[in-house]
A and B are shown apart, each in its own frame.
Chain A
């Protein structure tokens, strides 16, 4: 790339010739390289060879249709996931739909990257089993900690109703002022459910604590939300402990809110702004293939997510 292009001088680098074929050079550069190549058999040959690379790649046989066993496996996984999604929707009261939490795929948990690729398919099978299991117990939250431990909390029984009532109180408490760690749902009823709940929260809270928070003077509405999903606003001010933006600034409250919204396996950022004139938290959740954005009340909690609007766009 650093080589000179004039006909009498050195040959342009292969990269420069490749750029020429893609029209990436400026007019002046392209002119220079072309006039050099016109009188230089070596560079003409190099251009031919670049064309040959293309032809060689194009001539490679198609890997063929997806093998039957791979296709069957895929069908089964999708059917299970679809049934899981549909089932969770049907099994839970309407108001709780958003609180159903899916098993966290191992590679999406806050754990170091996989080191043994040979183990991946085994993990996939295991994960599929979990999905089926959670299907059987109707509404269970399965959370995989970084150490690989699994905590299961009943959602339909005391775990949910008790926890829900708890967090309603906690939500009120923290919305009346920036309560200390009183995070919604963090301190449950002193029984087994509470212990499990706190296990569940530790991971979630740790993750929530890492969520970037910003504040902006922007006002969103139903039309601007999809745009925001596609392109999160980055101009906000960093939120500090001194800026009173409500309980969601507290990682425990935020974790509770995110769980209520079913946001588990996404890259999350929160912007404190307004939605149609009302104070709101704009939650951006980007996961593979999809960007979600939700406008929620600042009091969003497990008990009442307070969703004002949401939008999903492909990415």
Chain B
């Protein structure tokens, strides 16, 4: 995509202030606000791959992710269009990125909640192992197991983990996207990870390395077996921060 110039070296922000040739995100949004029909599309093209990642990871389904992203961005376009009011105010580049993510994440969460409200929605608690068909997915089996496990989490915890652990956002950035306090993000991440503990055990179990029952991961007598260094090929040491 037209994402960022090569000369951008700002470590903190993937989309640091572009050069003179490229209008900044905030500038594009301003142009959109005064009726430039191209500006919003250009802005979205810069960010759409990451927005897609977030939507896919939150919803787990391409069709739904596509709908969520499109609905969110069309609403955002209209709400900031000329005639809708003054151009929205953004305090710089990072704020636009945050806002776009927020709009998309909210649309995804709405979908998750709506799906949950349906009688056929996924079961709550205790349904950590959604049936899977390993041979159909081959190499991506682990990915599928992870996706299914994520799908069992409350939407708020899932969104926090998607942003922080999967997309690599800082807690503060994720808090801005989710519109909650940083402490809340930490708490959601912590609770979400705790709920995913059986997942680690299940994956080890699937590898046949250790005979850990996924359900027993929370029980004291399973702790010892979990202490064996990673057996899934996934690198440990994620605690480093």
Contacts and interface: CB of A to CB of B under 8 A. Distances in A.
Interface string B179-203: 1000100110111011011011101
B127 interface: no
A22 interface: yes
A55 B235 contact: yes
A22 B186 contact: yes
A50 B57 CA distance: 20
A42 B99 CA distance: 42
B53 interface: yes
Nearest to B220: A11
Interface string B74-110: 1111111111111111100001000100110011000
Nearest to B150: A57
A209 to B, nearest CB: 24
B41 A55 contact: no
B220 A51 contact: no
Contacts, number: 264
Interface in B105-132: 106-107, 111, 114-115, 117-118
Most buried by B among A58, A66, A124, A290: A66
B236 A55 contact: yes
Most buried by A among B80, B81, B199, B221: B81
A247 B189 CA distance: 49
A288 B76 CA distance: 7
Interface in A28-74: 40-67, 70-71, 73-74
Interface string B191-232: 101101101110100000000000001101111111111101
A222 B115 CA distance: 42
Given A24-B183, A98-B83, A288-B75, A46 B226 contact: yes
B62 interface: yes
A14 B197 CA distance: 8
Nearest to B66: A70
Contact of A78 (B73, B102, B166): B73
B12 interface: no
B187 A22 contact: yes
A288 B200 CA distance: 36
Given A41-B224, A49-B200, A49-B217, A287 B75 contact: yes
Most buried by B among A46, A50, A53: A53
Interface of B: 1, 32, 35, 37-38, 40-41, 44-45, 48-49, 51-53, 56-57, 62-64, 66-67, 69-90, 95, 99, 102-103, 106-107, 111, 114-115, 117-118, 140, 143, 146, 161, 165-166, 168, 179, 183, 186-187, 189-191, 193-194, 196-197, 199-201, 203, 217-218, 220-230, 232, 234-239
